[in-house]
Amino acid sequence: MSDITRSSLPEHVAIIMDGNGRWAKQRGLPRIMGHRRGVEAVRETVRAAGECGLKYLTLFAFSSENWRRPVSEVNDLLGLLKAFIRRDLADLHKENVRIRVIGDRDSLNDDISALLIEAEQTTRDNTALTLVIAFNYGSRDEIARAAASLARDVALGKIDVSAVTPDAITARLDTAGIPDPDLIIRTSGEERLSNFLLWQAAYSEFLFIPDYWPDFDRKTFFSAIDQYMTRDRRFGGLPDQVAVAGA
């Protein structure tokens, strides 16, 4: 990675980790092998994010639409999540990484919910990188839940309808308190958001790379950061207004 200053780094990078199955298929392997190699890419990326001083890293681990996949593959993915938390939680805690989970938890099995809660509670006071895991996450569902929460408060007379503002919606999203992503990366060459952080991505920079997720490594990550730092971010204003808008 090139020489950088703290002010030039993105504060928050989000990644759509795509291509595990295609990576495996190219090699004549079962899809689960691609997912397992993808977990290694997660570990390397988290380490790289910590090395460069990133404050927030969000990983799209399991979407609300992924339940439509074959039961065997869903079970494999859930098993990998459990294994990752059980194996890596102590190391992440030691590295001062805070874990935060976003997504709908109401429909999750108790064992999954318990692991997610344990990960969050164990690391809640850590102050280095915040690793945001988007699990059973869908952005439209997230926005709908935030809107419903505001609607209930309006109906109960707790707030006036005039209080339903963009800031009020932001405060009720799963990502409340987390800055919007500066950079969203998607691997595998696909160029779409796939229901990921739709509200939060209003002024994000996008980078679509051809590598399948299992091939994503620290070199690729640092290259993405370098590319981000060449972008001219205006936030809808003129160049001389960027510093104010992005403050």
Q: Which residue has the higher pLDDT, 63 or 130?
A: 130
What is the mean pLDDT of the segment spanning 178-182?
98
Which pLDDT score is estimated for 76?
86
pLDDT at 7 over 80: no
pLDDT at 197 over 60: yes
User: 66, 104, 195, 211: which one is catalytic?
Assistant: 66
Which pLDDT score is estimated for 247?
42
Listing from the earlier edge strand, what are the strands of the sheet with 183-186? 98-102, 130-137, 56-63, 12-16, 183-186, 205-208
- pLDDT band at 137; cut points 50, 70, 90: very high
Question: CATH classification of 9-138+181-230, choosing from 3.40.718.10, 3.40.30.10, 1.10.4080.10, 3.40.1180.10?
Answer: 3.40.1180.10
- pLDDT band at 5; cut points 50, 70, 90: low
Q: What is the pLDDT of residues 20-75, one digit of tens each?
A: 999 999 999 999 999 999 999 999 999 999 999 999 999 999 888 888 888 888 88
Lowest average pLDDT, out of 2-11, 91-100, 120-129, 185-194, goes to 2-11
Q: Is 92 annotated as a binding residue?
A: no
Q: Is 193 annotated as a binding residue?
A: yes
pTM for the model: 0.90
Is 195 among the catalytic positions? Answer: no
- pLDDT band at 102; cut points 50, 70, 90: very high
Is 76 among the catalytic positions? Answer: no
> How far is residue 121's CA from residue 132's CA, in Å, rounded to a whole number?
14
Q: Which residue has the higher pLDDT, 59 or 82?
A: 59
Q: Which residue has the higher pLDDT, 109 or 138?
A: 138
Which residue do the tokens 């890293």 mark? 57
Which residue do the tokens 């991505």 mark? 201
Which pLDDT score is estimated for 39?
94
- pLDDT band at 121; cut points 50, 70, 90: very high
Query: Contact, 151 vs 76, CB < 8 A?
Result: no
Sign of CA dihedral 86, 87, 93, 99: negative
What is the mean pLDDT of the segment spanning 90-105?
95
Query: Contact, 115 vs 85, CB < 8 A?
Result: yes
Q: Is 18 annotated as a binding residue?
A: yes
What is the mean pLDDT of the segment spanning 224-231?
94
- pLDDT band at 191; cut points 50, 70, 90: very high
Which pLDDT score is estimated for 240?
60
Q: Longest C-alpha distance within the chain, in Å?
A: 60
114: tokens are: 């318990």
Q: Is 126 annotated as a binding residue?
A: no
Query: Contact, 211 vs 188, CB < 8 A?
Result: yes
Query: Contact, 85 vs 111, CB < 8 A?
Result: no
Query: Contact, 51 vs 244, CB < 8 A?
Result: no
> How far is residue 231's CA from residue 197's CA, in Å, rounded to a whole number?
20
Q: Is 35 annotated as a binding residue?
A: yes
When the pLDDT of each residue in the chain is averaged and rounded to a whole number, the result is 91
Q: Give me the residue spans of the domains in the chain.
A: 9-138+181-230
Q: How far is CA 71 from CA 66, 82, 97, 206, in A?
A: 10, 16, 32, 32
Q: Is 19 annotated as a binding residue?
A: yes
Query: Contact, 97 vs 128, CB < 8 A?
Result: yes
What is the mean pLDDT of the segment spanning 97-125?
93
